[in-house]
Amino acid sequence: MRPMHKTRRTLELDDGRTTLVAGATLLLIFCLVTSFLEHLHFALFWPAKLVLDMIRDLGIAFIVGGVVSLGIERISRARFQSEIADEIKKIERSAINAAFLKTYPIEYTEEIEKTLRRTKYFKYGLNIIIDIIEPDPPINDAHGNPLIYYEQSVSYQAGNVSGEEQTLKPRLFFDLNPEMPPPELLEWTVGKHELKGEAVSATRAHAEDHGNHRWYHFPIGVPLGAGEKVYVFSKVRNFKYPRDVTTWCGIQPADSMRLVINHPPGYYAYAQPKTAARTTDTSVVSDGRRVVVELFTPLLPYVTIELGWNPKPSTRALAAIERAAENLQEDAPIIM
């Protein structure tokens, strides 16, 4: 933990509190002197009486001035902070426009500013591995349709970029289909904290379903100082159809990403990044065993990658389809 530093405010000559203290001191002196003289039944000459009256009047004036000064100072400070915040926003917008020699709409640059302010964590070396597996024995959905599943492993270094200590509590979300088994958390590690066995079961029990997504929350808050990094790893099993399309989405920004899709023989698979890091929308297709996508440029929050796969028909099935097509052509009536 970093040591806590208390901010001390020194009294200055124009500080309203200083004026209040001075006024109260003068009035106290006036009261003490006059009470002492009355107790002695001593009559002052007019010059001394004039001095005491001046002390009294100065004390009252100082107190009034101090009260007014404190009120004006508070209002001025709030107004000053508001004006400074507005000027900072204008400078940020001007800096964005000046950096790219363009004039963007205010709404656009404001959205960029909000994104930068909201970002507290940054992912370094983001690595994603998706293994598509055909279950044995087979598994079906609620209507008897066959299913496959994939195991997704994600690892990275989470860095605190906020400039102050934060408590890291990662979360995961996955597609949820009521007609098939829900996504299942297998492992989760953040720094020295590892979820396995009963800890994983407890985290599964506290999962939250929102619409078509299931959210998992890491149960332990991990302190992370400014600029510090911690290793994060998660592994989840999710059920899908043999022919399906889904998306991977990253909530936090990252410096780079490597995604690998491993699939059984006889499958076709592809991945299509939806990010400004790629200059084209061309999909990366499988080489027969896997798909590899590598992005070496920073990724913005909520960047997505579309994934798709389907089993290729066997040679025997293709031959049967071709024979059926030929027979259909031979038996078709001739239309003149």
Task: Read off the pTM.
Answer: 0.64
The pLDDT value given to residue 235:
95
Kindly give, in sequence order, each residue whose CB lies less than 8 Å from that of residue 243, ignoring residues fewer than 6 positions away: 309, 310, 311
Residue 144 φ/ψ, nearest 5 degrees: 85, 5
Rounded-to-integer distance, Cα 94 and Cα 198, Å = 53
Residue 293 φ/ψ, nearest 5 degrees: -120, 125
Answer whether residue 23 shows pLDDT above 60. Answer: yes
The pLDDT value given to residue 303:
85
Rounded-to-integer distance, Cα 284 and Cα 272, Å = 6
Tell me the per-residue pLDDT of 119-167, one tens digit each, with 9 for 90 and over: 899 999 999 999 999 998 989 998 999 999 999 999 999 999 988 999 9
CB 256 within 8 A of CB 126: yes
CB 320 within 8 A of CB 302: no
Answer whether residue 6 shows pLDDT above 60. Answer: no
Burial class for 191, CB neighbours closer than 10 Å (0-12, 13-18, 19+): middle
Task: Give the residue, 150 or 91, on which the prediction is more confident.
Answer: 150
Rounded-to-integer distance, Cα 265 and Cα 267, Å = 6
Rounded-to-integer distance, Cα 313 and Cα 192, Å = 46
The pLDDT value given to residue 336:
35
Taken in order of first residue, the domains within the chain and their CATH numbers are 16-99 (no CATH), 119-316 (2.60.40)
In which band, very low, low, confident or very high, does the pLDDT at 288 lie, cut at 50, 70 and 90?
A: confident
